[in-house]
């Protein structure tokens, strides 16, 4: 160093700043480690949406339990007693002879009076006794990564089934599963739930339609699930992704549960579109297409029977 030249002062981070820096590095490393497996896996995004409710556009219909019967107007139309036992929500007239036209304008168990569609799921038994559901919450959203502005309402008369009543192996939890409360991720087996977040059956329906068939021979092939935000070419029309969540008064561990088809693996649900079509189109346009959240559902017991917020 040249004589007479003063060296610049050496600068050191204070102890507090060093601790903050180290913590920041650790936090970033943890975040990267948590995200990396999902990035590496490259798993297709389809079915159940693992989101914080209210972060994607939706409208919600809350329906009380209506009735139970060994009927299924999709699989066994006009044949009363031919099915395993189902619990029905929504349209109160639903039976083996129901059609979308016969249900229009009928009484509904849903808070949305113009939702006269029919929703049903297999009855849950506990120690051989039918469990009366607390009700059902029906979420309508764009499919995962689907452009919300592209979603179109279901046509009048569309029917859908999701899940396999006769499953002998675990079904994909992307479409059928058990959970505690409204926010839990679906699981293959029914978890032991706390009292403030009792048991739910969650069934997600396909969100892509072939554009012309209201039903198909197997009641499945006219619909398909989007993958990574795209509908397959044979099912090019994005429709709302319907998630039916059935609420049961089941919590704790002292239970022996079985679904009506004979196994807890046979979770499934059915939908028959008998909405007031003008209202359904309005909900899709004003909530989904405009990327708005029109109502949410909480776990709180005091919110179970509280009306949902208006979309206005």
Pairing of strands 58-63, 293-294: parallel
Q: Which of 78, 140, 158, 180 is nearest to 288 (CA)?
A: 140
Q: Which of 67, 47, 57 is nearest to 135 (CA)?
A: 67
Q: Which two tokens stand for residue 295?
A: 């109502």
- Return the SS3 of 31: helix
Q: Which of 83, 74, 75 is nearest to 262 (CA)?
A: 83
pLDDT of residue 107: 98
Long-range pairs of 101-104 with CB within 8 A, sequence gap ≥ 24: 101/157, 101/274, 103/272, 103/274, 104/274, 104/276
Q: Which of 156, 78, 171, 157 is nearest to 122 (CA)?
A: 171
Q: Is pLDDT above 70 for 180?
A: yes
Q: In this predicted model, what pLDDT tens digit does every residue of 24-74 receive, in sequence order?
A: 433 333 333 333 333 345 789 999 998 887 889 999 999 999 999 999 999
Q: Is pLDDT above 50 for 290?
A: yes
The H or E element containing residue 27 is helix 15-41
Q: Is pLDDT above 90 for 296?
A: no
Using CA atoms, how far apart are residues 171 and 186, in angstroms rounded to an integer? 11
| Percentage above 90 pLDDT, the chain | 77
pLDDT of residue 298: 60
Task: Name the residue with higher pLDDT: 27 or 149.
Answer: 149
Q: In this predicted model, what pLDDT tens digit does every residue of 186-220 receive, in sequence order?
A: 999 999 999 999 999 999 999 999 999 999 999 99
Q: Find the length of the chain.
A: 312
- Give residues with Cβ within 8 angstroms of 295, minimum separation 6: 58, 59, 60, 308, 309, 311
pLDDT of residue 233: 98
């Amino acid at each position: 160093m040249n004589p007479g030249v003063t060296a610049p002062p050496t600068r050191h981070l204070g102890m507090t700043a060093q601790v903050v820096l180290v913590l920041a590095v650790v936090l970033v490393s943890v975040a990267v480690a948590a995200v990396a497996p999902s990035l590496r896996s490259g798993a297709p995004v389809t079915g159940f949406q693992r989101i914080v409710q209210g972060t994607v556009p939706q409208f919600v219909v809350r329906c009380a339990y209506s009735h139970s019967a060994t009927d299924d107007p999709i699989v066994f139309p006009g044949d009363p007693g031919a099915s395993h036992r189902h619990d029905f929500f929504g349209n109160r007239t639903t039976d083996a002879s129901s059609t979308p036209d016969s249900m229009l304008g009928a009484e509904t168990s849903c808070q949305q009076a113009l939702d006269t569609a029919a929703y049903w799921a297999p009855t849950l038994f506990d120690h051989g006794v039918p469990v009366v559901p607390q009700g059902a919450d029906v979420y309508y959203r764009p499919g995962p990564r689907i452009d919300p502005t592209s979603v179109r309402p279901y046509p009048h008369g569309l029917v859908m089934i999701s899940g396999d009543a006769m499953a002998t192996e675990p079904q994909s939890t992307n479409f059928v599963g058990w959970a505690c409360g409204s926010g839990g991720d679906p699981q293959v087996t029914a978890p032991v739930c706390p009292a403030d977040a009792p048991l739910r059956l969650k069934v997600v329906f396909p969100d892509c339609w072939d554009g012309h068939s209201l039903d198909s021979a197997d009641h499945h092939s006219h619909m398909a699930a989007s993958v990574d935000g795209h509908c397959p070419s044979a099912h090019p029309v994005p429709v709302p992704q319907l998630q039916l969540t059935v609420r049961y008064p089941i919590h704790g561990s002292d239970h022996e549960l079985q679904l009506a088809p004979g196994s807890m693996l046979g979770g499934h649900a059915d939908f028959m579109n008998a909405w007031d079509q003008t209202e359904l189109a309005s909900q899709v346009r004003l909530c989904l297409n405009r990327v708005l959240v029109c109502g949410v559902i909480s776990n709180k017991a005091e919110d179970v029977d509280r009306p949902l917020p208006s979309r206005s």
